[in-house]
Amino acid sequence: MEKHDTQPSWDNQTITLIEGQELVLEDANKVADWLSITNNATGISVTKDGHKLKLKADKNAKSGEIAFAKVPDTAIGTSIIYNKADRQSLVKFHLQDTASAQLKVNVKKLGGVKVKKIDEKTNQALPNTTIKFEYNNTSKEVVTDENGVAELLDIPEGTEVKVSELLAPTNYHNFGESQIITIKANETMELIFNNKEQLGTVSLSKIGQAFGTEMPNEHYSLLGAVYGIYDASDVRVGELITDEMGKAKSTALPLGKYYLLEEKAPLGYLLSEEKLDFDLEYAGQDVAVTDTQMQATDVEQKGTAKLIKEDAETGITPQGKATLDGAVYELYRAADDSLVETVTIKDGQAQVENLMLDNYYWLEKQAPTGYQLDTEKHAFDLVYKSDATTASETITVKEKVIKEKMKVIKCDETTKEAIKDNPAIFKLKDMQTGEFVEQEGKSEFSTDKSGEFTTGNLPYGDYELVETTAPTNYQLTNKPIQVTIDGTHNGIVEVKVLNTKKPTPLLKKANPEKVEPVKALKVTESKPLPLLGDNGGIALLLVGLGLIVTSLSMYWSKHKKQKK
């Protein structure tokens, strides 16, 4: 009788039943074996095993109430006899209820989540990505398949799940993306996680072989070097342009093998033809952009300064006895007047090689033989030649030869006075060439009324003064006179040429007692017949005629006296 009135321990309780899972309820009051299901609209499978109830919900089950009873409804109002062997029979008169029990079941449906991993740029699926699912104090790691999908299924609805990327696929950057979702009944939620391929940059540090990063002057700079970036197929995919410190950094590039090739050298440097190989390699999932450091060393351009020495008037041919060789020049750096090199002219030129590009000047220290010292600074800039291995600059210096005039004075040897109004004619021989000097279209020089003449400027050297016509009644100077022009005579070399008068013929006294025939005059020096206009010749002729007339007069006078 008491067992009929006792309810199972789970009566009027609410339980949660997860789809696909079996739940076993134990009746602590041990009356469940009397129970029969009177109503079950949930679709939940219920079986008894002694005092145990086994419940299982499939995908079609739903939440609701399951009713149980010990006796059917038709037994109400009747009497029930309880019999047991060796026991007294008991009678329950007029049953008032069926001894029913109820169990409320909350069915939780299953759901899931699916994560698809794709390349952000190409939308291609990314396999081999590890996705982590965290829920109900547990976690599960799933690697995406060839379709880039990782799934978490059969999770009760209402479950909160944290989804995150644990490991990115090789060559990809892990953004650290995560989402929290709540599972919905009978639904597989889909999430899209993007990934970017890891990219790489190349950073270049450029220095000069001699100067590093400290440039000596404005002729050298690390600014503006251009490097092409080429991939393994020799396709140009980018470029680098250096700053003033020789630094440059590329834009982001896909991982792979590349090389740098200099396409334009900076100011003052030679273009390098070396290929600088580098790899942009995967640096792990936590790095978005990896960087590779490269170094380049360029060779500074050097230069040659050439000096050509020429005569200001005759070019490469020196005048007179002068020579262009032997001049000593010093090369100075203009910035600080520091001496760089000393050279001696040979074969009309000299040069200094392996010079740093800079501003310079030449200054003559010692003039060559026969030339004036050049005090002018001959400045020049040794500048960068981008299309040449070596820069060069040639300076031509025009030298002024030492010159002097020659003043010739014709003098009487006895009186040492100038022979005036009686011209003499000279020629001047250049002993270096063997030729007679010609000035103003004439190759002869004649003394003027003052008995002298002055040549124009004569270049440094040795000369020979030759008298070709002596003054009248003077003997010709047969021996040439040596004259040297060397710049030591204050601009004029004075030469006195002495001439000796010709001897005058002596006449014997007349004897009145005896007339003797006139003897011929003895001539000590042959001389051409006097020319018209020659005053000395006319006088001599008149004297001769006078002597003849006198002799004839004396002869006729004596002849008459004898006749008488």
Write the DSSP assignment of 213-263 as a string of letters: T--SSTT---TT-EEEEEETTS-EEEEEE--TTSEEEPPPEESEEEEEEEE
Cα 420 from Cα 425, distance rounded (Å):
13
**Same domain for 283 and 306:** no
Q: What pLDDT score does 535 carry?
A: 46
Q: What pLDDT score does 507 carry?
A: 56
Number of domains in the chain: 6
Residues composing the chain: 564
Closest CA to 458 of 438, 479, 476, 474: 438
- DSSP H helical segments within 78-153, as ranges? none
Q: What pLDDT score does 478 carry?
A: 86
**Same domain for 294 and 217:** yes
Q: Of 173, 197, 221, at which residue does a domain stop?
A: 197
Cα 283 from Cα 491, distance rounded (Å):
87
Q: Are 188 and 151 in contact (CB under 8 A)?
A: yes
Q: What pLDDT score does 292 carry?
A: 97
Q: Of 464, 499, 534, at which residue does a domain stop?
A: 499
Q: Is 7 helix (H, G, I), strand (E, B) or coil?
A: coil
Distance of CA 101 to CAs 34, 52, 93, 211, 252, Å? 11, 14, 21, 100, 73
φ, ψ of residue 19 to 5 degrees: the values are -55, 130
CATH number at residue 277: 2.60.40.10
Q: Which residues, in sequence order, are CB contacts of 269 under 8 Å at separation 6+?
A: 208, 220, 225, 298, 299, 300, 301
Q: Are 463 and 406 in contact (CB under 8 A)?
A: yes
Please tell me whether the overall predicted TM-score, pTM, comes out greater than 0.75 for this model: no
**Same domain for 376 and 346:** yes
Distance of CA 484 to CAs 326, 352, 429, Å? 21, 36, 12
**Same domain for 388 and 430:** no
**Same domain for 380 and 407:** no
Q: Consecutive sets of 10 residues in the chain, 564 residues long: mean pLDDT of each?
A: 77 90 89 86 89 89 89 66 64 63 91 94 94 95 95 94 95 92 94 94 97 95 98 97 97 97 97 96 95 97 97 94 96 97 96 97 97 96 95 96 96 94 96 94 95 96 96 93 95 95 70 45 38 45 64 60 48
Cα 337 from Cα 194, distance rounded (Å):
68
Structural domain for 362, as ranges: 302-398
Count other C-beta atoms under 10 Å from residue 181's C-beta: 17
**Same domain for 325 and 387:** yes
Q: Give strand pairing partners of 189.
A: 113
Cα 564 from Cα 549, distance rounded (Å):
23
Count other C-beta atoms under 10 Å from residue 313's C-beta: 13
**Same domain for 271 and 369:** no
Q: What pLDDT score does 518 carry?
A: 40
Greatest C-alpha distance within the chain: 255
Closest CA to 130 of 148, 153, 112: 148
Q: Give strand pairing partners of 445.
A: 426
**Same domain for 376 and 391:** yes
Sheet of 101-108: strands edge to edge? Answer: 13-18, 101-108, 64-69, 36-40
Q: Are 388 and 381 in contact (CB under 8 A)?
A: no
φ, ψ of residue 434 to 5 degrees: the values are 80, 5
**Same domain for 314 and 392:** yes
Q: What pLDDT score does 550 carry?
A: 65
**Same domain for 468 and 425:** yes
Cα 212 from Cα 386, distance rounded (Å):
20
Q: Of 157, 172, 197, at which residue does a domain stop?
A: 197
Q: What pLDDT score does 536 carry?
A: 46
Rounded to a whole number of angstroms, the distance between the first and last alpha carbons of the chain is 245
**Same domain for 510 and 444:** no
Cα 493 from Cα 484, distance rounded (Å):
8
Q: What pLDDT score does 75 carry?
A: 64
**Same domain for 228 and 181:** no
Paired tokens of 387: 């299309």
Closest CA to 476 of 485, 466, 486, 484: 466
Q: What pLDDT score does 551 carry?
A: 64
Q: Which residues, in sequence order, are CB contacts of 129 under 8 Å at separation 6+?
A: 117, 143, 144, 148, 150, 165, 167, 168, 169, 172, 193, 195
